[in-house]
A and B are shown apart, each in its own frame.
Chain A
Amino acid sequence: MSERELGRKLDRCLADGVIKLGTGLGLGIVFSVLFFKRHTWPISLGSGAGLGMAYSNCQNDLRSHYLLHRNQKVER
């Protein structure tokens, strides 16, 4: 993987992390207010789940360079 490609992937990872953390936080707040009497744990759960999703996406993105994809022809 070239350094430029790695840099782009890491930038994407960071942006995705911010988005997923914010989304998890927001959904956690919504669920906390509506169903769980404003407890903190749904907010923590949502934020943690968002961060975990971002981590998983980043991991797949960085690994995809070394995997053979279905749309690539296998040369004999």
Chain B
Amino acid sequence: MAAKLLPVVKLATKVGIAGGAVYVAYDSGLLGGSEQGSEALQKARAAVPPAIEEWMKYFGLQTQLPTIPNIEFSPVQAWNSGVRWSISRLSEAPTKAGEMTTQGVQYVRELLK
């Protein structure tokens, strides 16, 4: 009787755990729209340092972690500044090439003197 019930109980436990994981993911807005997703990411980022501190205290490690610098990185700003830099270098390229050619010719002339 118990031998027959054991596989059923195992399957029920596995289904329960998997179903619970899916429900938790759905309930916390991880599978919703983009606004919910970005809100969840902000909450996670805010919750990480206190959680790390608690775990450190739990394990008895009282070392002071260096504070993680608040990196403000915007991909759009980075992309735009990259485009501006590339275009400005491209516009200066003919002038720079001319100057470097003149310098190179002068250098060679002085070598040949």
Q: A34 touching B18 by the CB < 8 A rule?
A: yes
A residues in contact with B34, CB < 8 Å: 12-13, 15-16, 54, 57-58, 61
Chain B residues within 8 Å of A, Cβ to Cβ: 14, 17-18, 21-22, 25, 30-31, 33-35, 37-38, 40-42, 74-77
In whole angstroms, how far apart are the Cα atoms of A11 and B75 in the complex? 7
A15/B37 in contact, CB under 8 A: yes
| Nearest CB in chain A to that of B35: its residue | A12
B41 in contact with A19 (CB, 8 Å)? yes
Asked if B33 contacts A27 (CB within 8 A), the reply is no
Q: Are A12 and B38 in contact (CB under 8 A)?
A: yes
Measured CB to CB, the closest approach of chain B to A15, in angstroms, equals: 4
A34 and B17 contact, CB distance less than 8 A: yes
Q: Dominant SS at the A interface?
A: helix
Which residues of chain A are within 8 angstroms of B35 by Cβ–Cβ distance? 12
Partner pick for B37 among A6, A19, A31, CB 8 A cutoff:
A19
Q: Which residues of B contact A58 (CB under 8 A)?
A: 34
Minimum CB distance partner of A53 in chain B: B31
| Interface members, chain A 6-38 (any B CB < 8 Å) | 6-7, 10-16, 18-20, 23, 26-27, 30-31, 34-35
Q: Is the CB of B74 within 8 A of A30?
A: no
Residues in B whose Cβ lies below 8 Å from that of A18: 41
Q: Are the CB atoms of B21 and A30 closer together than 8 Å?
A: yes
Residues on A with C-beta less than 8 A from B22 are: 27
Selected from A15, A30, A35, the residue in CB contact (under 8 A) with B41 is A15
Closest to B42 in A: A15
Nearest-CB residue, chain B, relative to A17: B37
